[in-house]
Amino acid sequence: MGLVFQVASAALVLAGQNISNSMGLSMANMIDPNMGSVPVISQFINLLGILVFLGLGGHLIVFGLLLESFRLLPIGKPFFSQDMLGAILNWSAMMFLGGLLIGLPVIMILLFINIGLGFVSRAAPTLNIFTLGFPALILGGFLVLMISMGNDVARIQWVWTQSFMVLQKLIGG
């Protein structure tokens, strides 16, 4: 059960890392005991994911699934099968899919800002692109992150819901 939720929370961290790298904040890292060195945006999205998890009643769902697992899979019964390991391996792809879905709006807008900065630097080579580009990327990234927060919360909710369904399928409930 922990592995399934670890993949879901890794999707949130991966989205934050992609956003931070696109914004130029990859050097602003914090130490997270679970994930290691993670950017600040990842910490924010991870906290948002925890709030969505609690808002969904995820803690109650997890306790219900845990109690159900004692009934469906008694102690001493063989648990892992080839199909179950394949399902867990397929679920691990959700880390990349969820991270991409959560971070895609910000990453795409930042890509367009970078393309625009490329045109500006080509048209006016005397402008220092670093003094113009870094503030534009950070400001644009935070603006798009604020605007897309509603969709990000819906995508985070989708990732948690998928993890609940995978857990329910794995324990056979």
Bridging pattern class, strands 29-32 and 36-39: antiparallel
Sign of the dihedral through C-alpha 1, 96, 22, 158: negative
pLDDT > 70? residue 34: no
E strand or H helix at 37: strand 36-39
Q: Are 58 and 64 in contact (CB under 8 A)?
A: no
Cα–Cα distances in Å, from 44 out to 16, 50, 77, 86, 171?
8, 10, 41, 32, 32
**pTM exceeds 0.85, yes or no:** no
How do the domains of the chain map onto residue ranges? 2-171
Predicted confidence (pLDDT) per residue in 37-70, tens digit: 778 888 899 999 999 999 999 999 889 888 888 8
